[in-house]
Every structure is written in structure tokens, then in C-alpha cells.
């Protein structure tokens, strides 16, 4: 393959709901790709298919037509077991709410996906400590989520999302619950992690200031990906 590797590629992806006269075409043949190490902002109003696009790209939902490639592997024909394996190993997710497990420490929350993936506890712990240090919250490793600030919780969630060295990172309003100052701090940490790891990141956000700092900004128009204009 010539040129930069496309870690995530959607080819003629379509998704509709309902049938006949009530059919709603949410995605109408999306063609879209993200390179390794690239950050792309997805800015679109509610109801345009943003969440559907993220779910299909993350193999949480199946498209009605088209193909999703993760690191070059076609995923539409995979069985459920292989799709689950791909989500664990190749795709990281960050949501608006951190979804950390409350009974576990920050360190343990980052260790768990690694151990589910087959890593030994010692190696998982070392990787988790490195990520916490990189996110500048290494001193909070033993704290449970309830003992962390909102910004700290989200940084743990980001570290957990990349713990298994995924090819693709999908984030849905990752700073939506944070105040402006904390949002910028978390976004800076996320950006540094994307650049350092080479993960391809698709980040849905309503924050125009943060979107403008990414490599590209796209939107959804009539079920298709289109460049986004801030005008």
C-alpha cells in the first residue's frame, strides 16, 4: 500500500431504520478513512447519524451495506466472536461519561482490559503505570473513581482505551462533562497520546474550539461524510 496506512476505512457504508415509506436512511454510502496518528473531529447535530457511525466503525453495530476495515481487515463478514476480539484488541472507546468500574482503582481499571486480552498481571500493571504517568496522574493510581476529579476520571478512561495498543480510537464527546479549563487539559493529554501511539482517532464533539485543533473536521450531510465549515 502506498502512502500512509489507513487504520480505519469505511467503504460505501449504509444504515437505515424502518421499512417502506417509514424507512429512514441514516448513512447513505459513507466513504471515509483515517490514517495512523491522525485526529479527525466529527461535528454534527444530534439525529444526523453520528452515534450510528461511531457504533458501526467500532463494530458495535452492523451496517446494512458496505465494508468497515480496521488495520486493513474487512470486518462485515466476521462472526460475533471475532468482532468481540477486534473490539478488545484493535479499537479503543472513550465516552462522555468515563464508565470506570467503581470498585477498582485507577490502575486496576487500566489493567483489566489488558488481562482480559491475555497479558499477565505484572506486565499489565507496568503498562498501566506508564499510561497513568503519561497522563500526569501517576500519583492517583491507587485511588478509586469516586476519589478522582472529573478530569482525572476521564484521563483514566483515555488511558484504559489505549491500554491494548489499538489501531483505532473512537471518542464520543470525551470532554462534554468537563469545565472549559479541564476540557483543554484532557484534550491536550489525548492529543499527546494519539501522536505518541500512532492510533487513528475519530472524535465526535460539539466543541468548535477543540475541533479546530484537530487534523481534519468533518460532518454528516444527508448520510454522507462532508468537510465541516465553521462559518
Is residue 162 assigned to a domain? yes
Q: List, for residues 133-150, the tens digit of each pLDDT value.
A: 888 899 999 999 999 998
User: Which domain range does residue 133 map to?
Assistant: 6-227
- Nearest-angstrom CA–CA distance, 206 and 149: 22
Q: List, for residues 28-65, the tens digit of each pLDDT value.
A: 999 999 999 999 999 988 878 888 999 999 999 999 99
Is residue 83 assigned to a domain? yes
Is residue 108 assigned to a domain? yes
Can you give the C-alpha Rg of the chain in angstroms?
18
pLDDT (mean) for 153-158: 90
pLDDT (mean) for 202-219: 92
Select the more confidently predicted residue: 120 or 46: 120
Is residue 80 assigned to a domain? yes
Number of domains in the chain: 1
pTM value?
0.88
Contact 200, 125 (CB under 8 A): no
What's the pLDDT band for 3 if we cut at 50, 70, 90? very low
Contacts of 169 (CB under 8 A, 6+ apart): 91, 92, 93, 94, 161, 162, 194, 199, 200, 201, 202
Any idea of the CA torsion for 61, 67, 70, 71, to the nearest 10 degrees?
180
Is residue 143 assigned to a domain? yes
pLDDT at position 5, please?
Answer: 53
Residue 104 C-alpha from the chain's centroid:
22
Contact 182, 151 (CB under 8 A): yes
Contacts of 56 (CB under 8 A, 6+ apart): 10, 13, 15, 27, 62, 63, 68
What's the pLDDT band for 151 if we cut at 50, 70, 90? confident
* CATH number of the CATH domain containing 39: 3.40.50.300
Is residue 212 assigned to a domain? yes
Is residue 54 assigned to a domain? yes
Is residue 173 assigned to a domain? yes
Q: Is 121 exposed, middle or buried (0-12, 13-18, 19+ CB in 10 A)?
A: exposed
- Nearest-angstrom CA–CA distance, 8 and 216: 15
Amino acid at each position: 500500500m502506498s502512502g500512509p496506512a489507513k487504520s480505519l476505512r469505511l467503504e460505501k457504508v449504509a444504515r437505515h431504520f424502518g421499512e417502506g415509506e417509514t424507512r429512514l436512511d441514516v448513512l447513505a454510502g459513507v466513504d471515509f478513512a483515517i490514517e495512523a496518528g491522525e485526529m479527525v473531529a466529527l461535528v454534527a447535530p444530534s439525529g444526523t447519524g453520528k452515534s450510528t457511525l461511531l457504533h458501526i466503525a467500532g463494530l458495535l453495530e452492523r451496517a446494512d451495506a458496505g465494508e468497515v476495515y480496521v488495520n486493513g481487515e474487512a470486518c462485515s463478514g466476521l462472526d460475533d466472536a471475532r468482532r468481540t476480539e477486534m473490539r478488545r484488541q484493535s479499537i479503543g472507546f472513550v465516552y462522555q461519561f468515563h464508565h470506570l468500574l467503581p470498585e477498582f482503582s485507577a490502575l486496576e481499571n487500566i489493567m483489566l482490559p489488558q488481562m482480559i486480552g491475555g497479558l499477565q498481571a505484572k506486565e499489565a500493571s507496568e503498562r498501566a503505570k506508564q499510561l497513568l504517568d503519561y497522563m500526569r496522574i501517576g500519583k492517583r493510581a491507587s485511588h478509586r473513581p469516586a476519589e478522582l476529579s472529573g478530569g482525572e476520571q476521564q484521563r483514566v478512561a483515555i488511558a484504559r482505551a489505549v491500554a491494548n495498543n489499538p489501531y483505532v480510537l473512537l471518542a464520543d464527546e470525551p470532554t462534554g462533562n468537563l469545565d472549559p479549563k479541564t476540557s483543554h487539559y484532557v484534550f491536550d493529554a489525548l492529543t499527546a497520546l494519539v501522536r505518541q501511539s500512532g492510533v487513528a482517532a475519530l472524535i465526535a464533539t460539539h466543541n468548535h474550539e477543540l475541533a479546530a485543533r484537530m487534523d481534519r473536521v468533518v460532518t454528516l450531510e444527508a448520510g454522507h461524510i462532508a468537510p465541516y465549515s465553521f462559518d
